[in-house]
Structure 1
Amino acid sequence: MKNNITSMLRSTLLILAVSLPLPVLAEVDGEPANNMGILREKVTADKKFVVANNMNLTESEAKAFWPVYEAYQQDMRAIDKRLAKVIDEYSVAYNKGPVPDSTAKELIEKAIGVEMAEVKLKQSYVPKLSKILPGAKVARYLQIESKIRAITRFELASAIPLVD
């Protein structure tokens, strides 16, 4: 079962990682292009399913956990948007030819800022999670989040070319 969940999560996150930096088109053939929105909703649901199946929460823990989980995911989406912007800026610079040193330095600072924001967010949620879950379950949740983020980062890194 865990292999099936891991496989499903990898497939879903691959789609998310590849689609994260892509802009959503407003219209395709006269119809609203909501495919990206649908895709993001599916990824969100699949991730929640994986977390739910791996947390082993009691009923009372689940009641307290899911609102905190949703708030964390909302805060993480803001960080993901920042990451997408950095990737987009890199894409524009990369497609123009060799990336100038000044642009590279600016992108490095922005990328490190995104990573720092992610760490700060995680740190800010440890006390919130610790109020509602035992320490082992807080650690387990953070491990699950870290693994999901690592898969996403790996897929992004595989798709993004190195600076020339």
Structure 2
Amino acid sequence: MKTNKFILALMLLISFSFYAQGPKKEKVKALKVAYLTNNLSLTATEAEKFWPIYNAYDAKQFELRHEKMKMIKDKLDSESVDNLTDKQASAMIVQIESVEDDLYQNRKKFMASLKTVLSPVKILKLKKAEDDFNKTLLRQYKNKGKRD
């Protein structure tokens, strides 16, 4: 039990240093790590192998979603869609498809890596835990807007 707590604390510290990009992001990341850890019931050996794989995957997904897609969205914001030529619009669609394909390929590699570390049941638990965490986070965000 002490080993699990030590690993959790170590993973939280690694996560904080890896994602030191603002207090809200750190808080959400810490909550997500705790939520996943609680829901997956990882052994010490599993956790030791799982978290580096997960953190690398998560960082790449973040980069793709927030940096590459942001460039596309910024371009859309700066130019009215109605003013784009078909050629410009087609080029942007190709860029969007490329980023979406990169996200999919990253997820596929992640799943393949997980198969060497976790049982199929724990991989499904991870998927469910991620979905549940995201739903809970979105619900809290929506409810916060209603109170303001």
TM-score of the two chains, using structure 2 as the length reference: 0.63
1:12-161 map, 5 Å? 37-80=22-65, 81-94=67-80, 98-145=83-130, 148=134
Q: Deviation per CA, 1:5-34, whole angstroms, max 9, x where unpaired?
A: xxxxxxxxxxxxxxxxxxxxxxxxxxxxxx
Secondary structure at 1:132 match in 2: coil
Aligned match of 2:9: none
The aligned amino acid for 1:58 is T
**Inter-partner Cα distance in structure 1 for 2:25 and 2:32:** 10
**Inter-partner Cα distance in structure 1 for 2:86 and 2:120:** 45
Identity of aligned residues (%): 24
**Inter-partner Cα distance in structure 2 for 1:89 and 1:146:** 30
**Inter-partner Cα distance in structure 2 for 1:135 and 1:119:** 19
Which one is further off, 117-126 or 52-61?
Answer: 52-61
Q: Does the 8 A contact of 2:64 with 2:102 survive in 1?
A: yes
The aligned amino acid for 2:38 is N
* Aligned Cα root-mean-square deviation (Å): 2.8
**Inter-partner Cα distance in structure 1 for 2:49 and 2:99:** 28
The aligned amino acid for 2:34 is F
Q: Deviation per CA, 1:102-145, whole angstroms, max 9, x where unpaired?
A: 23212211111111001100111222111110012123324444
**Higher-RCO chain (CA-CA 8 Å, sequence separation at least 6):** 1
**Inter-partner Cα distance in structure 1 for 2:85 and 2:128:** 37
Greater share of helix residues, 1 or 2?
2
TM-score of the two chains, using structure 1 as the length reference: 0.58
The answer for unaligned runs of 5 or more in structure 2 is 1-20, 142-148
Q: Deviation per CA, 1:24-45, whole angstroms, max 9, x where unpaired?
A: xxxxxxxxxxxx6222222322
Distance 1:139 1:41, change over 3 A: same
